[in-house]
Amino acid sequence: MTARPMPETMNRAAKLFLDRGDAASYGEALARLEGFSLAVSCGPEVLTSASHQCALLTLVNAGRRSFLGGVFVELPDDGPVLVPCGFGESIGAAVQALGGKIGMGSSDTARIAVGSVARSDHSPSWQVTWDGWRGGAAPVRGCFRLPERGDVRLAPVVASAIALSEAFQHFDGRAAAGKRAAGVSLWHPGADWRCDDPSEPALRYLPQGLWLLGLGNLGQAYLWCLGLLPYPDNQKPELMLQDFDVVSRANDSTSVLSNDKLIGLRKSRAMAAWAESLGWKTSIVERRFGASTTRTDEEPAVALCGFDNALARAALEDAGFDLVVEAGLGSGPAGFMNFSLHGFPGTRPAREIWKEEPVAPHSELPTPRAYAEMLEQGVLDECGLAILQSRSVGVPFVSLTAAAFVVADLLRRLHDDRACEVLAGSLFDLEFIEAVERDADAYPGTFVTL
């Protein structure tokens, strides 16, 4: 049967090749993704280090959604899972529950090393590495590796997201991918991630009460990042989860806590069930965020926003939150690797940033050949085509990168009263992250002291 792209089922990474005109059909776009595969080689550290397990599980979880040829994992041995990911009690079981395969894959598979692995001249291959608040990926042949210390587990998460981005770009034909080191500092965005930073503090505080607005790819990435943090057993987070939508098949390709078993369930309930499996307390709101959303004094004062509706984002400062940190993702073939962050209150109000702008009518938009052929063949009508073209290209490692910066912003506020008012960057080139930092008021929400 010919694969047909539908808004609620389409793999959002495959949409890249349709929008760019590289594939003549959705089936051809999927076949191209099926040529993307990864092999993850793990050193002995993965058996004893929670941070190394964060890197491994992030690689498998996000990787299998875009690398349809499979994510193969070579373990030195099996052992207990040391992080509360909710996907199995042993490392091998967690890898398989997240969609990975135990084994090494074929010789033409891109390879990623986690921990101390015998050096190989295989190309392409990357070492994920981190230290403190900094993380990234470097070609194995370059022998660059950070000490991989500390318990800021966002660093191995973002390191793995960057490794996935580099591997994806390599398969997609970008010449620089596989030949460069790429990384970020979550403590000083824009600084050289390869250099030691004595100002980085040890992890002492974690946010506790949070309101998550939107539970799609960004909202689920926030949950993944929070879920890997070292919360004490008796001081778990308390979350308000707000979303009106249901899980669709398309979400599996972008959202790290979605899978086919959840299709048709309310996102708020599915994510609450996952959080509660970790011992967290949750409440849910199953309606759109907007003028009717008003926070009470008993509800979380800090919100993380993960939706992309401009009208709703313009109202972020009207609901009564003391602090909102929101992320945005780029779209389309040229911008899908882009991410941004805003913190409120800030110098510019949300209503000024997201002024309502007219949208170009569909007739003025270019129609790539695959869409034109589907229209001519009657696979889609004009309305269906407009809906399909309105869906954005998406890959989970971009939302994980954005989420790491957002959760790190809360941690920075807790540790140093410093915050990012605005941040913007692209996984196409992390050398040019731009951030506007400022002094922040005392953290307004509840938090845990480690």
Residues labelled as active-site residues:
383
Residues 6+ apart with CB under 8 A from 55: 114, 128, 130, 156, 157, 159, 160
Evaluate whether 67 touches 167 at the Cβ level (below 8 Å): yes
Structure tokens at 410: 């809360």
Sheet holding 338-344, edge to edge: 281-285, 238-242, 209-213, 302-305, 323-329, 338-344, 418-426, 434-439
Q: Are 208 and 445 in contact (CB under 8 A)?
A: yes
Is residue 113 classed as helix, strand or coil in its secondary structure? strand
Beta bridge partners of 339: 329, 425
Beta strand 71-74 pairing with 38-42? parallel
Q: Which two tokens stand for residue 329?
A: 């993702």
Rg (the chain; Cα; Å): 21
CA 82 to chain centre: 21
Please tell me the distance from the alpha carbon of residue 231 to that of residue 297, in angstroms, as a whole number.
24
Looking from the CA of 439 toward its CB, the CA atoms found within 13 Å total 1
- How far apart are alpha carbons 149 and 379 in whole angstroms? 54
Q: Which residues contact 107 (CB under 8 A, 6 or more apart)?
A: none
Please list, residue by residue across 36-52, b when 16 or more beta carbons sit within 10 angstroms of its beta carbon and e when fewer do.
bbbbbbbbebbbebbbb
Q: In whole angstroms, give the CA distance from residue 217 to residue 184.
A: 21
Please, is 361 exposed, middle or buried when counting C-beta atoms within 10 Å of its C-beta (0-12, 13-18, 19+)?
exposed
| Interstrand relation of 125-131 and 71-74 (parallel, antiparallel or unpaired) | unpaired
Q: Which residue is listed with tokens 């994920």?
A: 128
Q: What is the DSSP letter of 313?
A: H
What distance in Å separates the CA atoms of residue 178 and residue 186, rounded to the nearest whole number? 23
- Cα distance between residue 11 and residue 36, in whole Å: 14
